[in-house]
Chain A
Amino acid sequence: MNLTLHVWRQPGPGAPGRMVRYQAADISPEMSFLEMLDVVNERLMETGEAPIAFDHDCREGICGSCSLMINGVAHGPELGTASCQLHMRSFRDGQEIHVEPWRARAFPVVKDLVVNRSALDRIIAVGGYASAPTGSAPDGNATLIPKDAVETAMDAAQCIGCGACVAACPNGSASLFTAAKITHLGLLPQGQPERGRRARRMVEQMDIEGFGQCSLYGECQEACPKEISIDTITRMNRDYLRALTAPDRAAAAESD
């Protein structure tokens, strides 16, 4: 395959960037999108040009590193996959492909296609966990959890924190990311003591980071490589609003 790429090049944070045109010749349709970029980069290095910087790690859709906006679609045209699992057979020979970094105020560009997603870590840090005494592993089945709660929690727990939901959202909202963690922990018994405080703190942090509001467009669940449902956002809203009227034990202990 022969493709024409338009790639965002930006030498560093705050530096001016621009779309640069590259030819990607003799690309195998069996390559992943990232392998195609590897080939382009090798050729760039042979000519002495700086390679295109992009985030990647596991290349099997579980680490959440890759973060490419491909022709205006987060992670490209394949549903339920990250950019690393997108294969070149999803494109036509001779196609023009635009590749850009995630765009959000909370995701400043580090270089080229690499953005800083620490804002998501800070949302987790204020409440996306269950405080529990550690020690020896508890007995299996010591805590019984209904099967449907387990499954729904597990669906939400699949979030890999890639930020595609933010990138695809017309408002640049991190609601799906935040809601996935609130849903995951809010459905399990271990998450109950801090459930209300978690929702309040994470929602407040999401706003502090400068993400937009949720307008229920639905673009996030379509972009999500783990196909997390916007039902999680409904659960987040419920937990937040309920926490305003009935503070839980963790919040009550805090205000004492």
Chain B
Amino acid sequence: MNRVQGLWDTSVGKKAVMAVTGLIMLAYLITHVLANLTVFQGPAKINAYSAFLHGTGGALWVARLVLIAALVLHVVAAAQFTARRRAARPVAYAAGREPQVSTFASRTIRWGGVLILIFIVYHLLHFTLGTVHPSFVEGDPYHNVAAGFGNPLVVVFYELALAALGLHLYHGIWSSGRSLGVSPPSPHPLKRQLAAVLSVLIWAGFAVIPIAVSAGALR
């Protein structure tokens, strides 16, 4: 088994792929949430950032292709792992299996991931392509955000997806270090301060914007 095969053909190798692709997307999410929060500084800042990104030309597309590749690998690995876990226990426990220490976040990570995937498609149609946006203006993200959350159903969908994202990060950030074998040994291995802080900050940074628009703070 060569190195590349070793990364995809064993469960440990594939988990490392999931961890790395997840961390790539995490790095993007951090820049994304910081950029989003400039919306509170008025239209000039966020529109200028948007213009800067589109002005980088090829670099924007390189970043997009890296993210698409990371997403595809992450989702394909998740689908294959779902099939593997189902095959690993063909007969379920008649009395059920009582979770002892696993977190809600870890137990919902698959369906949460499906919700996030659906959200990503909708989000791109909403704010990047504008096809499902009521009054999309290319190059004016401030207007697009302020006008894009007029429908309360859209706000609810965003908030649900962002809750799933926060939970996904709470388990994913912590477990990626272990999947890659870099987390230091701990007397309390299930504790995860860094993942808790990062996931709450990222979730809150994203989640505040649709609510701020609904509350009339951004117009």
Enumerate chain A interface residues (CB-CB to B < 8 A). 6, 8, 19, 69, 71-73, 98, 100, 103-106, 152, 168, 170-173, 200, 203-204, 206-207, 210-219, 221-223, 229-231, 233-242, 244-245
Contact = CB atoms under 8 A, between A and B. Distances in A.
Interface residues of B, number: 47
Task: Give me the 5 closest cross-chain CB pairs, A-B, nearest first.
Answer: A238-B181, A172-B88, A98-B95, A212-B88, A72-B98
Contacts of A233: 178
B182 to A, nearest CB: 7
B58 interface: no
Contacts of A211: 88
Given A6-B95, A217-B106, A218-B101, A105 B89 contact: yes
Contacts, number: 159
Interface stretch (B13-21, B65-73, B144-152, B207-215): B13-21
Given A171-B88, A213-B11, A214-B15, A237 B95 contact: no
Contact of B12 (A19, A100, A103, A240): A240
Interface of B: 1, 3, 6-7, 10-16, 81, 84-85, 87-102, 106-107, 109, 171, 174-175, 177-183, 185-186, 189-190
Contact of A239 (B13, B180, B181): B181
Given A103-B92, A219-B99, A219-B101, A237 B16 contact: yes
A170 B100 CA distance: 11
Contacts of B97: 69, 72-73, 168, 170
B85 A171 contact: yes
Nearest to B4: A244
A171 B97 CA distance: 12
B181 A241 contact: yes
B102 A106 contact: no
A239 B16 CA distance: 12
Given A212-B81, A241-B181, 15 more contacts: A72-B95, A103-B91, A106-B88, A168-B97, A214-B11, A215-B81, A217-B107, A218-B190, A222-B101, A229-B185, A234-B183, A237-B181, A241-B16, A244-B3, A245-B3
Contacts of B85: 170-172, 212-213, 215
A237 B178 contact: yes
B179 A71 contact: no
B89 A213 contact: no
Given A210-B88, A237-B179, A170 B16 contact: no
- Choose among A210, A213, A235, A245 the residue with the greatest number of B CB atoms under 10 Å from its CB: A213
Contacts of A245: 3
Contacts of A239: 181
Given A207-B11, A219-B102, A231-B189, A72 B88 contact: no
